Amino acid sequence: MVRKHVTGPFVLPVRDLVHRPGEMREHTIEVAAPEKWGEGLVAVDQGEPVVVDVRLESVHEGILATGEVDTRFTGVCSRCLRDIAEDLQVEFQELFAYPGEEETDFEVQDDHVDLETLVREALVLALPFQPVCQPDCPGLDPVTGERLADGAGPQQSQPLDPRWAALQDFTTTNDDESPRTRG
């Protein structure tokens, strides 16, 4: 009950697999993310449900974990800073080696494997660096900083330099000399 070192939300028993090459077990676990995963514009929030489908396979060197993680990331669009939330699905495969077998990032510990680091790293690596709310998000107006309307491309707001802006005013004024019709 109090064997704290072998408990954890992503810990799975492998007692019946250890040193039995060819044996395998499948598990599905759903865990609330124990902390916020990711440092960028988007992250998997603490408490977000994380579903792991994994096949644990006994091989000569250890336990091979193959599976898929399903969760959701939230954050802001890198162009317009609108809030976004999107499903995230990642596949993984990693060997948990028996202690002393070989250099490895992951080891079988006693009679269990802990998938937490593996799952976290797979998810964090899959988070987009430049997330967008939609593929053609027009972003922010570089002059006013306001959100551009959907569909209105940034082409109207190119001149950042005030000198070019002045020139644009000039041409706009000239173009406006078309005759007005009344009545």
Could you tell me the smallest distance in angstroms from the CB atom of residue 72 to Zn ion?
18
Residues making contact with Zn ion (CB under 5 A) = 77, 79-80, 82, 133, 137
Q: Two tokens at 145?
A: 């900083």
Q: CB nearer to Zn ion: give 7 or 134.
A: 134
Could you tell me the smallest distance in angstroms from the CB atom of residue 41 to Zn ion?
11
Q: CB nearer to Zn ion: give 97 or 133.
A: 133
Q: CB nearer to Zn ion: give 80 or 127.
A: 80
Could you tell me the smallest distance in angstroms from the CB atom of residue 69 to Zn ion?
26
Q: CB nearer to Zn ion: give 134 or 158.
A: 134
Q: Which helix H or strand E contains 169, and what residues bound it?
A: helix 162-175
DSSP letters spanning 85-137: EEEEEEEEEEEEEPTTSS--S-B-BTTEEE-HHHHHHHHHHHS-SS--SSTT-
Nearest of 12, 64, 182, 48 to residue 123 by alpha carbon = 48
Could you tell me the smallest distance in angstroms from the CB atom of residue 17 to Zn ion?
46
Let me know the angle formed at the C-alpha of 143 by 138 and 147, rounded to the nearest 5 degrees: 35
Instruction: Name the DSSP letter for residue 79.
Output: T
